Amino acid sequence: MQAVKITDKIYWVGAIDWNIRDFHGYSTNQGTTYNAFLVLDKKTVLIDTVKEPFYEEMKARLLSVLGDKKIDIIICNHAEMDHSGALRKTISDFKPQKVYASTIGVQNIKEQLGQDLQIDPLANGATLDIGEDSFTFLESRMLHWPDSMVALLNKENILFCNDIFGMHYACTQRFDYETNREDWIYEFRKYYANIILPYSKIVGSFLKLVEQKGINPRMICPDHGVIWTKMIPEIIAMYRDFAAQKSKKKAVIVYDTMWGSTAKMAARVVDGLASQGVEAKSFS
C-alpha cells in the first residue's frame, strides 16, 4: 500500500472500504473511504486515523513515506471510531510526542479507548507551530459530534474538516477533478441529508464564521470521499442551500389501494399538483 502525494508536503494515508453497505443506519452502496493525512514539516503530523480494522492499510501507507521516521504529532479532529479507532495502535507503533484533540474530543476518545491515553486539549482558535507552517483550529461542534473541529494549515491554505463536506464514496481517485461528478453527487447530497441535516442551522453559522475569518482554502480535505480542489465553490454553495432548507415545488403521493379507487384519487392529486407547476410522483 502506497501513500498518495497531495502536495509537496502532504500525503493521503487513509484506507478504502469497498464493501461497507450500511453506515449510520443508511445504505452505502458505493462504499466509503477513511481519509487520514500526513503532513511533513520540521514536525511530522498525522491528521486523524482510520477505522480500527483498516489500521494495517494505513500503517503501510505511512511507512511508504516515513520509512524508519516517527510521527511527532497526531491531531484528532473527530472522536468517532471510524476516525479514531486505530489511534491506540498508531500511538503504540509510531510513538508520537503529542496527541491533540478538542476539549470534548479528549474526553470522548478516552472514554472510548482508555483513560490512560495522553491527549492534550486544543482550545477553540488555538494555533500549533510545526516548523515552516502552522495549524489553526476551530471548533465545529455538532458537525456532527460535540467534539468536532477543523484544522487549517495556514501557509498551505488547506482545510482538514473531518466529516464536513464529506460523503460515503469509495474510489481509487483522490481528487474531485479525477472523478465523474455524476458518480458522486448523489452520495454528497445523501450524506448531508442523513448526517448533517439536523444541524443545518449550525452549518449556516459555521459557514458565516469561516467567511468572517477570511478562510478561503485552496483545498478541502474531508475524512470521507474525495479531496476538493476545483469544485470548492460548488460544494460550499450546495452546503449553503442545504442549510437554508429552501423548499422546492415537489410532492410525493404515497397510497395503498385494494379495489383501485384510491389509486384513481392519487392520480387526480398528481394531475392537480402538476397543473399548478408542482413536480409530483406517486408511489403505491
CATH number of the domain that residue 167 is part of = 3.60.15.10
pLDDT of residue 25: 85
Looking at the DSSP bridge assignments, the partners of residue 180 are: none
Do 267 and 143 belong to one domain? no
Assess whether pLDDT exceeds 90 at residue 104: yes
Q: Which residues are catalytic?
A: 24, 78, 80, 82, 144, 163, 191, 224
The stretch 43-47 carries a mean pLDDT of 98
Q: How many domains does the chain have?
A: 2
Assess whether pLDDT exceeds 90 at residue 244: yes
Do 261 and 148 belong to one domain? no
Model pLDDT for residues 192-242, shown as the tens digit of each residue: 999 999 999 999 999 999 999 999 999 999 999 999 999 999 999 999 999
Assess whether pLDDT exceeds 90 at residue 68: no
Model pLDDT for residues 199-211, shown as the tens digit of each residue: 999 999 999 999 9
The domain containing residue 218 runs over which residues?
4-244
The CB density around residue 124, as the number of other CB atoms within 10 Å, is 12
Averaged pLDDT of the chain: 96
Do 275 and 184 belong to one domain? no
pLDDT of residue 134: 98
Model pLDDT for residues 247-262, shown as the tens digit of each residue: 889 999 999 999 999 9
Assess whether pLDDT exceeds 90 at residue 188: yes
Do 159 and 267 belong to one domain? no
Do 273 and 189 belong to one domain? no
The stretch 104-113 carries a mean pLDDT of 97
Do 83 and 100 belong to one domain? yes
Do 142 and 262 belong to one domain? no
Assess whether pLDDT exceeds 90 at residue 47: yes
The CB density around residue 193, as the number of other CB atoms within 10 Å, is 12
The stretch 146-154 carries a mean pLDDT of 98
Do 166 and 275 belong to one domain? no
Do 254 and 238 belong to one domain? no
Do 145 and 275 belong to one domain? no
